[in-house]
Amino acid sequence: MRMDKKLRILLADDHAVLRAGLKVLLNAEPDLQVIGEAADGEEAIAQVEALRPDLLLLDLTMPKLNGVECIETLVKKHPELKILVLTMHDDEEYLKAVLRVGAKGYVLKKAADVELLSAIRTVARGEMFIYPTMAAAFMYRQLVGPAEPKRKDKKLKQLSEREEEVLRYLALGHTNQEIADLLHVSVKTVETYKARLMEKLEMRKRADLVRYAIDHGIIE
């Protein structure tokens, strides 16, 4: 980023109050300027095309087109665009999903103002920014490695890899829509996987799935 001009930022979030607050915060900085806003994924892509911002500050769960799909589309069309995800999801799977498709940063909405500003400037310089507590936890798991899951139950062996993945997300408390976003499938497909899980594991309630996942090492 050149120091003789402001970093041009596009805000994409479906909460108008949050966008308004961010706009005030960012425009108060001498080197930052909010040049546009978007309330859903499709509008975010259109605004990038029209305004050509330097950086997109993007929420993950938005109407019409979710954040992961947005990032995939924009990275292909505008590889020079810096994308920083601003989200409520303190979840390693979301982090891995957005980094995999080309985002350059991940910061939580609960972050202090100074952390967000630091994240924006870090990504603008072409460096990666990951919210500190998530970065530390992620690095720890990479170094230590995950615990070996228990594989004693015959029913568990009947599950496909994708069914087990859906089971894990369900047990972690994700909604069907969030799971669909993470797996890049439709909500209807997630519901189908959920029905198969219930049938194969002979269960009737989501709470049963959570307990099963804990008991058999799918989640801790």
Domain span holding position 81? 7-141
Measured CA to CA, the distance from residue 9 to residue 34 in angstroms comes to 5
Model confidence over 37-75: pLDDT tens digits? 999 999 999 999 999 999 999 998 888 888 888 999 999
**High-pLDDT (> 90) share of the chain, %:** 46
Domain match, 64 and 165 both = no
Tally of structural domains, the chain = 2
In terms of Cα–Cα distance, which of 132, 131, 125, 71 is closest to 98? 71
Residue 88 sits in the same domain as residue 52: yes
54 and 89 housed in the same domain: yes
| Selection from 21-35, 90-104, 183-197 with the highest mean pLDDT | 21-35
Nearest to 46 by CA among 54, 55, 38, 56: 38
Domain boundary pick from 141, 172, 201: 141
- For tokens 């967000």, the residue is 116
Please check whether residues 30 and 134 belong to one and the same domain: yes
d(CA 180, CA 84): 21
Residue with tokens 């919210």: 131
My answer on whether 123 and 176 are in the same domain is: no
In this structure, the answer to whether residues 30 and 67 fall within a common structural domain is: yes
Question: CB neighbours of 2 closer than 8 A, spacing ≥ 6?
Answer: none
Domain co-membership, 36 together with 96: yes
- Does residue 97 lie in a domain region? yes
User: In this structure, are residues 82 and 129 in contact, taking their beta carbons and an 8 Å threshold?
Assistant: no
Residue 90 shares a structural domain with residue 30: yes
- Check residue 2 and give its pLDDT: 46
210 with 106, same domain: the answer is no
Residues 129, 184 within the same domain: no
Predicted TM-score of the model (pTM)? 0.66
Average pLDDT for 106-111: 90
